[in-house]
Amino acid sequence: MTTDATTKTTQTEEYEREPVPASAWKDWRSFLGMYAGEHAAGTEFVIGPLFLTAGVSAFDLIIGLLLGNFLAVLSWRYLTAEIAVSHRLTLYYHLEKICGSNLVKLYNVANGILFCFLAGAMITVSSTAVGVPLDMDMPKLTDTMPTSTSWVVTVLIVGAVISIIAARGYETVSRAANWMSPFIVIAFIACGIVALGQLGVGSFQDFWNIWGQGQEPFPGQIKYTFWHVVIWSWFCNAAMHIGMSDLSVLRYAKNAGIGWTSAGGMYLGHYIAWIAACLLYAVYLNSPEGLSYLDNNEAPPVAPGPLAYNAIGYFGIFAVIIAGWTTANPTIYRAGLAFQALFPKASTFWVTILAGGIATLAGLFPAVAMKLLDFVALYGFILAPVGAVIVFEHFFADKVGIRRNYAEWAGIKFNHAVLLAWGISFGIFYLISTTQGIFLSFLTLPTWLTCGALFLFLSKKSQRAF
């Protein structure tokens, strides 16, 4: 079979450039496990402890996460799923119809670079587990540069293995990742239970007192309040829900109600896993080593490998390696696909290797993982406004009087209204964040709303001129 024929067959099977037919629709069972597995991953081993470094109180963390994750579920249900089942198109093809193919390429590059940094953080996570048997010095919370030769060698080896697997065997690995997801969830729960015992928790009040009224943030961290927790947990996956990335997944859903299955990821992963990982770090902070850092006014290391090992031994090391791997591998693969938009004739294998190389280089620098709360906030802030273009066109195009899928209708490859709306909204609110010291996640929703409104306004003007 020729390459063109193979491509055509693949596109037909995946419905990359056509709506998913009713014969391929799936029920809720196909999505619940996927969301639970995707959001109980390597990132959770880092994010949980980082909440503790931000000095959260018990109420801020436990109730804040309940509310923030529920808002995320509502976003998946009433925005992403609603639009997905109405059009049943991938994000990229949907954007191409509105924005034009050249602008989608620009979006893919931004997406690919951010994917690489996220994968790099997961390579860092897995490397902390590999380093436990080697008695390797772990990066500290305030470290930004590679800390030792052994660290560099470990990260390069882990990154190379993950990149090669991503480039050569994604389908097999993705199936394996789905099988491993329950194992990872069990590992998180086991870590949490063991950590509770190590902390001497015998009642709910003891559990609550782990955080109590909160504390001052560790050096180099900002203080998280209730609203920091709520807004950050709502928008840490902003690119997926209000950013519409999950259109590509939910277009297979039988109905929009299947958007509720995102709760499996938000509460098994983001809620239980974050709190369990936070408990692991609380145990470490009470150890002689952790206390020695605090006595010297230093931030103790946030290294998932040693934390999990301290709770459940080599089972914990294996869980951290697998959790990092199952997150990094598909992320590198997606980054490779995003980059391939620039090099359509290049081999998928080598483009994915390139993405893996960038991710591995990012993984060398502990700051990528140690500042994961900030990075994830930036990730959503950059990509979410693009989703506003789709949302606002879907709900308001007819009311405002603009043509849907304008780029497709006009035969243009670059819709300047979209780029201006994205660039202006991003630029204004990022400047406000940096100059006024405002928590970036607080500005994600205003940026998203501004981008959508600007898109409608500029489209009205430009389409009239056309």
Q: Is residue 164 part of a domain?
A: yes
Instruction: From residue 75, give the alpha-carbon distance in Å to each of 237, 239, 297, 314, 441.
Output: 10, 11, 41, 38, 16
Exposure string (b/e) for 225-240, b if CB count within 10 Å is 16 or more?
bbebbbbbbbbbbbbb
Query: Tokens standing for 176?
Result: 């394996």
Torsion of CA 371, 372, 378, 380, to 10 degrees: -170
Pinpoint the alpha helices (H) of 342-415. 348-363, 367-370, 372-400, 406-410
Residues 452 and 138 sit within 8 Å (Cβ to Cβ)? no
- Considering 1-10, 141-150, 375-384, the range whose residues carry the highest mean pLDDT is 375-384
Mean pLDDT over all residues of the chain? 85
pLDDT score recorded for residue 175: 62
pLDDT score recorded for residue 7: 39
State the burial class of residue 315 (Cβ atoms within 10 Å of its Cβ: 0-12, 13-18, 19+). middle
Work out the average pLDDT over 75-81. 96
Range name among 198-212, 297-311, 443-457 with the lowest pLDDT average: 297-311
Q: Is residue 404 part of a domain?
A: no
Question: How far is it, in rounded angstroms, from Cα 156 to Cα 120?
Answer: 11
pLDDT score recorded for residue 3: 37
Give the confidence band of 173 by pLDDT, cuts at 50, 70, 90.
low
pLDDT score recorded for residue 12: 34
DSSP for 186-211 reads HHHHHHHHHHHHHTT--SHHHHHHTT
- CA 104 and chain centroid, separation: 20
Question: How far is it, in rounded angstroms, from Cα 97 to Cα 410?
Answer: 10
Name the β-bridge partners of 26: 253
Helix axes 314-339, 348-363, angle to 10 degrees: 130
Question: How far is it, in rounded angstroms, from Cα 339 to Cα 47?
Answer: 28
Work out the average pLDDT over 11-38. 76
Range name among 71-80, 254-263, 306-315 with the lowest pLDDT average: 306-315
**CATH number, domain at 201?**
1.10.4160.10
Name the β-bridge partners of 253: 26
pLDDT score recorded for residue 179: 72
Cβ-based neighbours of 145, under 8 Å, separated by 6 or more: 365, 366, 367
The 3-state DSSP class for residue 253 equals strand
Pinpoint the alpha helices (H) of 131-235. 149-168, 170-198, 204-209, 226-235
Work out the average pLDDT over 312-324. 81
28-75 residue pLDDT tens: 887 887 787 777 777 788 888 888 888 999 999 999 999 999 999 999
Question: How far is it, in rounded angstroms, from Cα 181 to Cα 164?
Answer: 21
Instruction: Kindly tell me if the per-residue pLDDT of 180 is higher than 80.
Output: no
Q: Is residue 391 part of a domain?
A: no
Cβ-based neighbours of 258, under 8 Å, separated by 6 or more: 27, 28, 31, 81, 250
Closest CA to 407 of 372, 459, 369: 459
Residues of the domain holding 321: 35-373
Whole-number percent of the chain with pLDDT over 90: 35
pLDDT score recorded for residue 361: 92
Question: How far is it, in rounded angstroms, from Cα 92 to Cα 392?
Answer: 17
Work out the average pLDDT over 284-302. 80
94-146 residue pLDDT tens: 998 999 988 888 888 888 888 888 888 888 888 888 877 777 777 776 777 88
pLDDT score recorded for residue 298: 76
Give the confidence band of 269 by pLDDT, cuts at 50, 70, 90.
confident
Instruction: Kindly tell me if the per-residue pLDDT of 272 is higher than 80.
Output: yes
Q: Is residue 83 part of a domain?
A: yes
Instruction: From residue 168, give the alpha-carbon distance in Å to each of 94, 165, 176, 339.
Output: 29, 5, 14, 17
Give the confidence band of 6 by pLDDT, cuts at 50, 70, 90.
very low
Specify the higher pLDDT residue, 226 or 179.
226
Give the confidence band of 84 by pLDDT, cuts at 50, 70, 90.
very high
Work out the average pLDDT over 312-331. 79
Q: Is residue 79 part of a domain?
A: yes
Question: How far is it, in rounded angstroms, from Cα 262 to Cα 71?
Answer: 11
Work out the average pLDDT over 252-279. 91
Work out the average pLDDT over 408-429. 93
Q: Look at the chain and report how many structural domains it folds into.
A: 1
Q: What global pTM score does this model have?
A: 0.85
Closest CA to 374 of 215, 174, 228: 228
Q: Give the other-Cβ count within 10 Å of 33's Cβ.
A: 16
The 3-state DSSP class for residue 213 equals coil
Give the confidence band of 371 by pLDDT, cuts at 50, 70, 90.
confident
Instruction: Kindly tell me if the per-residue pLDDT of 171 is higher than 50.
Output: yes
Using the 8-state DSSP alphabet, how is residue 23 labeled? G
